[in-house]
Structure 1
Amino acid sequence: MDPLKSLWKSFMSDSHRPPEKDSKVVVVDTILQELEYHIKELERLAHEKELDDRRRHTGVDYSWLISTAPKGFEIPQLQRLQLEELCYKIKPEECGRILSLFRDSLYNEPLPSHLPQIMRSCIIQIIEQRPKEDTLTDWVSKRTLSLTRIRPNPKVSPSQLGDPEAPSQEETRRCYSTPALQSTTVQELSHTGIDSLPV
């Protein structure tokens, strides 16, 4: 009976688990929630400041008479769609940098209606800072260039012995081609020191 209970529990726990969201969707949701939060927060601070100013000028607090909160700023639908489309271009690892840049720009205390444009400019700035990605042709050309550098030089040149600044002396020929060998005499060969060469 116990194995059936454990099997049933594992089946039920798997069936109630929500499906995982795509990383792009998580990034878009995070950016937009951050934007909406700061819009509401700036509106709240502006409303409190307005009430404090009224209280100072009139000396009386009428805030308890206000039954409904003033209607806040909402991002226009077209601007929101453009922002969502731009957010889909963001890589998950860039999300933190965008939020940090956006929060830094809030120190100037902008109007709530300016926040969507500020967020948009922060996203564009981070996207433009990306290192340029190589196209397939760039990648192939880089790899072939590196392969040509590895290939050894087919020409073989003997290294010069002695001091290169010393006056050049006529070097003795150490090898002969077959026609040149046939035309030379034994005396010429012994004169050049060919007998002393190691065999």
Structure 2
Amino acid sequence: MSLISWLRWNETSPRLSPRSPAEMVLETLMMELAGQMREAERQQRERSHADRKICTGVDYSWLARTPRPTYDLSPGERLQLEDVCAKIHPSYCGPAILRFRQLMAEHEPEVQEVARLFRSVLQEVLERMKEEEEAHKLTRQWSLRPRGSLALATFKTRMRIYPFTSDIRTISEDVERDMPPPPRTWSMPEFQVPKAD
């Protein structure tokens, strides 16, 4: 093949339009789900082969071809999962995948349960996103407040309520006045003059 024909082919090939971050997150998460479903199905198949070998005492698995995947998501379920994946911010894509892999390793679910586990991870990530967004809004509100209201807010947080001190005069207070003065504070030693006999 000559170089000129290759260059012409390159010029006529359609340029791929850059994908948005949301599309990339959606594609990455759905690929992860498909991969984990294949892995769960493979493990399920290996467990059934091991059980069959134990029951019959003979292993014929080397005769069988690798079967096609038997479980697939329904179109409605796939659309629902894609809708949830599209809401995930790109910065949360990696942690979502790591959490999903961790739960897969812990639970070793059947292939039918993988989509449910994936959905729970996505909901968990969405809740975390919402909490962090609300915390970010609160910090932004505090930074935009006028200085006077901020001083008042810090004053209110510094106020303490002491239940044993009161400005209300009581009868016991009048009785306590006739008592000797209280001892000095702990930081100062108390000096007493010896009494003369």
Asked if TM exceeds 0.5, the reply is: yes
Partner of 1:34: 32
Contact 1:24–1:88 (8 Å) recurs in 2? yes
* Change beyond 3 A, Cα 1:58–1:135: closer
> In terms of Rg, which structure is larger?
1
Change (3 A) 1:103 1:142: same
Give the fraction of aligned pairs with identical amino acids, expressed as a percent. 29
Are the counterparts in 1 of residues 38 and 69 from structure 2 also a CA contact under 8 Å?
no
CA offsets 1:62-120 (integer angstroms, 9 cap, x no match): 33554572652101111111111111111100001111111111121111111111111
Match of 1:146 in 2: 146
In structure 2, runs of 5+ residues without a counterpart are: 151-197
Contact persistence 1:102–1:119 (CA under 8 A): yes
Q: How many matched pairs?
A: 143
Q: Which amino acid aligns with 1:93?
A: S
Give unpaired runs (5+ residues) of structure 1. Answer: 151-199
Equivalence for 1:125: 124
SS of residue in 2 equivalent to 1:129: helix
Q: 1:71 to 1:15 in 2, by over 3 A?
A: closer
Cα displacement (A) at 1:41: 0.8
Q: Is the 8 A contact 2:49 2:61 kept in 1?
A: yes
In structure 2, the CA distance between the partners of 1:68 and 1:34, relative to structure 1 (3 Å rule), is closer
After superposition, the Cα gap between the structure-2 partners of 1:70 and 1:140, relative to the gap in structure 1 and judged at 3 Å, is closer
Alignment of 1:37-186 (within 5 A): 37-66=35-64, 69=67, 71-107=69-105, 108-130=107-129, 131-133=132-134, 143=144, 145-146=145-146, 148=148
1:156 aligns with none
**DSSP-derived class of the 1:74 partner:** coil
Contact 2:96 2:121 in 1 (8 A): yes
The 8 Å contact of residues 27 and 87 in structure 1, kept in 2 or not, is answered as yes
Task: Provide Cα deviations, 1:20-74, integer angstroms capped at 9, x if missing partner.
Answer: 1111111011111101111111111111221122122212223355457265210
Deviations 1:168-197 (A, max 9, x none): xxxxxxxxxxxxxxxxxxxxxxxxxxxxxx
Q: Deviation per CA, 1:137-185, whole angstroms, max 9, x where unpaired?
A: x967963x325559xxxxxxxxxxxxxxxxxxxxxxxxxxxxxxxxxxx
TM-score (norm. length: structure 2): 0.60
Q: 1:135 to 1:44 in 2, by over 3 A?
A: closer
SS state of the match for residue 63, structure 1?
coil
Amino acid at match of 1:99: I
Query: Is the 8 Å Cα contact of residues 40 and 72 (structure 1) preserved in structure 2?
Result: no
